[in-house]
Amino acid sequence: MPDDPTADPKPLADLEEWEEFLKGRYPEGAKDGHAFRDYRAEARPSVTEFYRLNHRHQTHEFVRSKKAEYLTLDRREMGVWEAMEYLNELVDDSDPDTDLTQIEHLLQAAEAIRADGHPRWMQVTGLIHDLGKILCLWGEPQWAVVGDTFVTGCRFSEKVVFPEFFALNPDAENPALQTESGVYEPGCGLGNVHLSWGHDEYLYHVVKNHLPDEALYMIRYHSFYAWHKEGAYAHLTDTKDHEMLPWVRTFNPYDLYSKTDERPDVGALEPYYRDLIAEFFPAKLRW
């Protein structure tokens, strides 16, 4: 599909604009599946444009092509802390002097999980869950890195944010991809469907041999709000998905609501988290 000549691949001033939008759409403590606010009216123009690009370009074929491109994991070898330092190169161009670094954001999530007494595997999950955003450093546009994920290869769900933009997606014109189950079998399991491409799916494949299933579901599906918040795509899920759903929901508040303006002491925390990383991961991972 040709590029949109009018499209800005970086409509967001920084990736946190997307997360701020999510916090407005899903206020802390609100019940799952509730229609909270008129997000269309409240969304910034940059966020609306971001979703327009995301929904237009995330076709079934695009997702499959990105998996073929990236899941060979042959771009570089890095340890987890090294990857965190690499992600720190992703800065907010709009206000680089005041925003927290990427490492500080990751530590905030991990520290909130740790403070609540969750197990060490969940602490390390909080620490690493956004490392897939390094895709931005390899030239991927924002709409191919972040955003609420959705299933490609079947009918677009009205429960996905800004569903009207799916009319721009070429898959909307393909009848084979617009039945309820599309190219899938009912009950096939989420592990057998192709979600829209982004940092969640990429990181899952980097770490899938090193963490328990609960952690892997948190990483792979934390942006899949249509499923874990809105109850969409239930006809594609299997028994394991149902068993893991509460863990994804447990993790979600730490993803969205743990970020504050208070800076964590990276130097003081680094020894603890380097030890935690070594408990679960080898010295180098393929990326």
Q: What pLDDT sits at residue 29? A: 59
**Residue 151: phi, psi to the nearest 5?**
-80, 130
Please, are residues 111 and 264 in contact by the beta-carbon 8 Å criterion?
A: yes
- Chain centroid offset of residue 98 CA: 24
Residue 30 has a pLDDT of 56
Residue matched to tokens 């603890």: 272
**pLDDT number for residue 100:** 83
- The dihedral built from the CA positions of residue 207, 208, 213 and 219, taken in this order, carries a sign that is positive
pLDDT, tens digit (0-9, with 9 covering 90-100), for 14-32: 667 767 766 667 766 555 4
Give the tens place of pLDDT for each residue, 54-107.
999 999 999 999 999 999 999 999 999 999 999 998 864 433 444 788 899 999
> What is the value of pTM for the model shown?
0.88
pLDDT in tens, 197-239: 999 999 999 999 999 999 999 999 999 999 999 999 999 999 9
Task: Give the tokens for residue 243.
Answer: 């068993």
What pairs with residue 281 in β-bridges?
none
Nearest in space to 251 (alpha carbons), one of 209, 207, 221, 281: 221
